[in-house]
Structure 1
Amino acid sequence: MSSTTNYILGVYDDEDEVLHAVGEVKAKGIKVEDVYSPFPIHGLDVAVGHERTRLPIAAFMFGTLGMICAFSLISYTMVFDWPMIIGGKDFFALPNWIPIAFEGTVLFTAFGLVSTFCISNDLWPGNKTLPLDIRTTDDKFVMAINLDKNKVSADDIKKALKESGAIEVNVK
């Protein structure tokens, strides 16, 4: 989040309160930017309106790439580069290659998903992101509302946050 953007933060004590408050605030025509909490809250992503993640699609693609690379490496080394007859089997012994291909699939999927997750969430080494409210890492729940993306006035947003159960309302 950029430092030039203005946010109104509603601080809550309880996860149930913040989950119900998101619905109340959105019902008044206010767009909620995000909700920060010290632990995951079931159903909060749906309440805020986040899209479903596309990480499973990326996992499938990385797994497919891993399987193709593993089969390609095995077929090149065992059939073309250094063909050896092991136990009287053919050079192209597909059932023997399946465990190695599975391990390649898992390896590519794991490294690919970690890299994709870190890149998509700006989590690379040396990146400094400051939280909007430091208490979200301990025991508070913070609803962030971007003033630039809302047509509702700041006073009405503050009033809606107070009515929904916020213990304090801050402007950052």
Structure 2
Amino acid sequence: MAHTSNYILGVYDDEDVLLKAIKNVRDGGVKIHEVYSPFPVHGIEDALGYRRSRLSIVAFMFGLLGTSLALTMQLGMMTVDWPMIIGGKDYAPIPSFIPVTFELTVLLASFGMVGTFMIISNLKPWGKPKLFDKRITDDKHIVAIDLGTNQLEESAIDKMLKDSGASEVNKKTL
């Protein structure tokens, strides 16, 4: 049996009102589950208290893996498996390895970032997204508050959202 949660949704028409509302709701001690918007809102990450993403560290690690795999592969092929001694050249001509090493570094870094992002964001092909309101893809901003993770009563959260400028407040069970 799937776990269901009760949410209170504050619907906002304007992004400036939304940013002020997020600050007021968080200052009131309410934990916001997520904010949905039809377009990027500048400053919403700071208002929600999100930390900087560590995806760049993941990209570096996958890039380092790509570099080491490319160099290991080429050195293994050119020096161990099939050494070519032509015209007195080195066993390991490192400068000629640079293009392949660069391409494999970029390939693994980009695929690693995309894969990690999809896993972290729960964007599985077989997953079912939570859609609180269809208007979030059109012109409304939604603040979703999970009642199970907050200590305040539903009526207090409802009043707080209305006082902060919400055009409507709804309850939804997912």
TM-score, normalising length: structure 1: 0.93
1:21 maps to a residue whose letter is A
Q: Could you tell me how far apart the structure 1 residues matched to 2:105 and 2:126 are?
A: 30
> Offset of 1:141 from its aligned partner?
0.3
Q: 1:25 to 1:78 in 2, by over 3 A?
A: same
Gaps of 5+ in 2: none
Q: Could you tell me how far apart the structure 1 residues matched to 2:170 and 2:121 are?
A: 25
Q: 1:167 to 1:86 in 2, by over 3 A?
A: farther
Q: 1:168 to 1:86 in 2, by over 3 A?
A: farther
CA deviation digits over 1:101-141, x for unaligned, max 9? Answer: 11110010111111111111111212221311111111110
Q: 1:113 to 1:86 in 2, by over 3 A?
A: farther
> Offset of 1:50 from its aligned partner?
2.1
CA deviation digits over 1:10-65, x for unaligned, max 9? Answer: 00011111111100111222221210011221211121122322211110110000
Q: Could you tell me how far apart the structure 1 residues matched to 2:37 and 2:102 are?
A: 37
Between stretches 2-11 and 62-71, larger displacement belongs to: 2-11
Gaps of 5+ in 1: none
Question: What residue number does 2:135 align with?
Answer: 135
Question: What residue number does 1:94 align with?
Answer: 94
For the pair 1:145 / 2:136, whether they are aligned, the reply is: no
Q: Could you tell me how far apart the structure 1 residues matched to 2:3 and 2:169 are?
A: 19
Between stretches 106-115 and 50-59, larger displacement belongs to: 50-59
TM-score, normalising length: structure 2: 0.92
Structure 1's consecutive aligned runs of 4 or more residues displaced over 4 angstroms after TM superposition are none
Q: Could you tell me how far apart the structure 1 residues matched to 2:147 and 2:53 are?
A: 26
1:46 maps to a residue whose letter is D
Question: What residue number does 2:116 align with?
Answer: 116
Question: What residue number does 2:50 align with?
Answer: 50
Between stretches 125-134 and 140-149, larger displacement belongs to: 125-134
CA deviation digits over 1:143-172, x for unaligned, max 9? Answer: 011111111111111111111110000011
Q: Could you tell me how far apart the structure 2 residues matched to 1:159 and 1:107 are?
A: 51
The percentage of aligned residue pairs carrying the same residue is 51
Between stretches 128-137 and 79-88, larger displacement belongs to: 79-88
SS of equivalent to 1:89 = coil
